[in-house]
Amino acid sequence: MNNKTQTAPAVALHDDDKVLLDVKGLQTYFLTDAGIVKAVDGVSFTLHEGETLGLVGESGCGKSVTNLSIMRLIPSPPGKIVGGEIMFEGEDILKLPEKELRGIRGNKVSMIFQDPMTSLNPFLKISTQMVETIMLHNKDVSKKEALTRSIEMLKLVGIPSAEKRIQSYPHQFSGGMRQRVMIAMALSCNAKVLIADEPTTALDVTIQAQILELIKDLSVKLRTAVIIITHDLGVVAGMCDKVCVMYAGRIVEKADTDDLYQNPAHPYTEGLIMSVPRMDVEHKNDRLFSIEGQPPNVIDLPPCCPFHPRCHKDMEICKHAYPPTKAVGKGHEVSCWLYVEEAERNEALKKTMEDAARTQAAALEAAAKNRKTKEAAK
Give residue-wise pLDDT tens across range 267-285: 999 999 888 777 666 655 6
Q: Which residue has the higher pLDDT, 289 or 255?
A: 255
What's the CA gap between 249 and 61, in Å, rounded? Answer: 5
Report strand pairing: 332-335 vs 250-256.
antiparallel
User: Given a cut of 80, is residue 329 above it in pLDDT?
Assistant: yes
Residue 378, pLDDT score: 67
Q: Quick check: pTM over 0.85?
A: no
Q: Please, what is the angle between helix 205-222 and helix 175-187, to 10°?
A: 20
Residue 2, pLDDT score: 43
Q: In this predicted model, what pLDDT tens digit does every residue of 205-240 receive, in sequence order?
A: 777 787 788 888 888 888 889 999 988 888 888 889
Mean pLDDT comparison of 124-138, 202-216, 278-292, highest-scoring range: 124-138
pLDDT-derived band at 12, boundaries 50, 70, 90: very low
> Percent of the chain, pLDDT > 70?
92
pLDDT-derived band at 368, boundaries 50, 70, 90: confident
